A and B are shown apart, each in its own frame.
Chain A
Amino acid sequence: MATAVERFDEKARQTFERFGKTEVYVGELPRHPVYTRFLHWMVALFFFLALFSGFGIYLPWLFRWFTPIFGGGPLSRAMHPWFGLFFCLFFGLQVLNWLGPMRWTKADSHWIRNLKTQVMGTEKLDPPDTGFFNGGQKLQFWEIVIGCVIYLITGIILWAGAPTFGRLTVAVSYVLHDISALIMLGGIFIHIYLSTFGEPGTFQAMTRGAVSEAWAWTFHPAWYKEVTGRDPRQAYEEARRQMLAKRT
């Protein structure tokens, strides 16, 4: 299946791998290649530019202190569509990059059903069939895909305005655009929390590109098994025995 899109995607990955590097220390596994990390941070940059310039348009009486960053309210408004366009562009590339690993599987439905034990912290290890991405990550990914489609359609309508698309179309587009933004904003709180404070050891996956083996067998056991060939539960038990032996 050597389509032009896949060839482009593969070439981009190789090019970025030549210029950047992913250092993997003993006891670690490589997780995200340079190209993925680059796209992630470009998406993040333009997401926040679009978010902060959007705040000033959404509720000026509450968020007008965001607007000086962009040179005032009218300039925030003028630049917001461009930020959004680049956000969608880079996320579109990420979609191509991640289309394979983000495919929904039975294990993801299983993961979602087990969500409560994870949120409440009663189960320390993720379900053994959890792969490279878990159900929650895939859910958020596809939410952003849908959100980007809504952003693009309604955003272009709002950009061209009422003279082109009619008053009612524009008025409804504002509502959809904002609802999509609020859902994404709610999701981004969870995303940032889990990748930093909520699950320590995760953040380095997107900075250095490597994670510890313990992190892998805890949160993505099926992926751990796939790349190391070892059983995640056994590896965990072994590490636990070693830790206890060292303490006594």
Chain B
Amino acid sequence: MSDRKTLQTEMISAHPGPVPGAGVQRDLEVCKLVDTTTCIGCKACEVACVEWNDMPFSATTFDNTHQTMPETRWNFWNLIKFNEHQREDGTIQWLMRKDQCMHCADPGCLRACPADGAIVKYSNGIVDFNQENCIGCEYCVSGCPFNIPKFNPATKKVYKCTLCSDRVGQGLEPACIKACPTGCLKFGTKEDMKFVAETRAKQLRDHFGFEKAGVYDPQSVGGTHVIYVLHDATQPELYGNLPRNPQIPWSYTIWKWLAKPVLGTFALFGLLGVCLHYVTIGPRRPQPEPPKKEGSDGNRG
């Protein structure tokens, strides 16, 4: 994606009119589509993720379900969440949802992060962590509405799904997509995936009796670059605490763009203030001081 755009001219000096070729290439945003209605819970995507990202073994936790572990870990970015849901008519529905980073258009982790260059969002929509700049403060953990960034106590840095930015940059699909045997995982442009998802949701509503079927693409974080087709889009909480209305704490905006620079400047003014006091008004000495020379105190009140 990005390599094809590197030599495209954006500005030309002393050139009247628009740049030749501007706007002819579409700026594509990528998207992963997870169709929970066709997921069979085989966990091939979990294995593919661990394999491709070369992650060390992570011991599983058995809690009487088919779920590999309670939640994602710093070395386990892709987890199928299994949830049994009893419907009003008494029948059981088995809900499986692939949990991973949602790659929000307005990422809470990036908003919260104080470290220069530790979190980046590419123009194709992928949100990526650069661990070499990470200071392990874990602000991102509180910024994320999906409980995704995970701290590694050994390296003291935070890790999460990269949407296989290394593969996508080479024109390949993410590893989980490649491994999916049912085709419930799809990868393409955001526009195309939204179309496929809406088509599938309509199909579920019209022909399969899932009247509340719909697409999960929460607008409270500007939409996400991982979208779900859900049997019941009105109750995303059923799918392992998928938030209905994900929010980024308001305090980060006020703090990072207003209070930090303003109050920081005030603190520096304090330093400037005492220096100025010393050179203009001067120190207060224990009294009595020796009398001043004639005329040396001329302009003091």
A218 touches B156 (CB 8 A): no
Q: Is A185 part of the contact surface with B, judged by Cβ < 8 Å? A: yes
Q: Could you count the A-B residue pairs with CB atoms below 8 Å apart for me: how many are there?
A: 143
Q: Report B178 CB to chain A, min CB distance, Å.
A: 32
Whether a CB of chain A sits under 8 angstroms from the CB of B125 is no
Question: Do B156 and A75 touch (CB < 8 A)?
Answer: yes
Interface-forming stretch among A11-19, A36-44, A175-183? Answer: A175-183
- B136: Cβ under 8 A from any A Cβ: yes
| A181 → B minimal CB distance (Å) | 9
Interface residue count for B (Cβ, 8 Å)?
A: 49
User: For the complex, is A58 an interface residue (Cβ under 8 Å from B)?
Assistant: yes
| Nearest-Cβ distance from residue B86 to partner chain A, whole angstroms | 28
Contacts of A167 in B (CB 8 A): 142-145, 249
Chain B residues 115 to 171 lying within 8 A of chain A, measured CB to CB, are 115-116, 133-139, 141-145, 147, 155-157
Contact with B135, one of A74, A171, A190, A200 (Cβ below 8 angstroms): A74
Residue of A nearest to B140 (CB): A162
Are A190 and B274 also in contact (CB < 8 A) when A57-B114, A199-B284, A201-B285 are? Answer: yes
Residue numbers in A under 8 Å from B283 (CB-CB): 197-200
Partner of B114, one of A60, A121, A197: A60
Question: How far is the CB of A85 from the nearest CB of chain B, in Å?
Answer: 17
Interface positions, chain A 161-217, Cβ under 8 Å from B, are 161-163, 167-168, 170-172, 174-175, 178-179, 182, 185-186, 189-190, 193, 197-201, 212, 214-215, 217
Contact indicator per residue, chain A 94-129, by CB within 8 Å of chain B (1) or not (0): 000000000000000000000000111110110000
| Contact string against B for A residues 64-96, beta-carbon threshold 8 Å, 1 for contact and 0 otherwise | 100100000111111000000000000000000
Q: Are A57 and B259 in contact (CB under 8 A)?
A: no
Would you call B263 an interface residue if the criterion is a C-beta within 8 Å of the partner chain's C-beta atoms?
A: yes
A25 at the B interface (CB under 8 A) = no
Q: Could you say which residues of chain A place their CB within 8 Å of the CB of B277? A: 119, 193, 198
A102: min CB distance to chain B, Å: 22
Chain A interface residue number, banded = 35 or more
Any A CB within 8 A of the CB of B92: no
Instruction: Give the Cβ gap from A76 to chain B, nearest Cβ, in Å.
Output: 7
| Contacts of A128-168 to chain B: CB distance below 8 A | 161-163, 167-168
Chain A residues with CB under 8 Å of B285's CB are: 199-201, 218
Q: Which residue on chain B has the smallest CB distance to residue A236?
A: B287
B180: shortest Cβ distance to chain A, in Å? Answer: 30
- Pick the contact of B155 from A74, A185, A197 — CB < 8 Å? A74
Query: Do residues B114 and A200 form an inter-chain contact, with CB atoms below 8 A?
Result: no
State whether B286 touches A175 (Cβ < 8 A): no
A56-B135, A59-B114, A121-B281 in contact; A171/B266 too (CB < 8 A)?
no
Q: List 29 A-B contacts (CB under 8 A).
A: A57-B135, A57-B137, A73-B134, A73-B135, A74-B155, A75-B156, A76-B135, A121-B284, A122-B301, A163-B147, A167-B142, A170-B141, A171-B142, A171-B143, A174-B251, A174-B255, A175-B255, A178-B260, A179-B263, A185-B270, A193-B278, A197-B278, A197-B283, A214-B286, A214-B288, A218-B286, A219-B286, A239-B288, A244-B291
Residues of B within 8 A of A (CB): 112, 114-116, 133-139, 141-145, 147, 155-157, 249, 251-252, 254-255, 259-260, 263-264, 266-267, 270-271, 273-274, 277-278, 281-291, 301
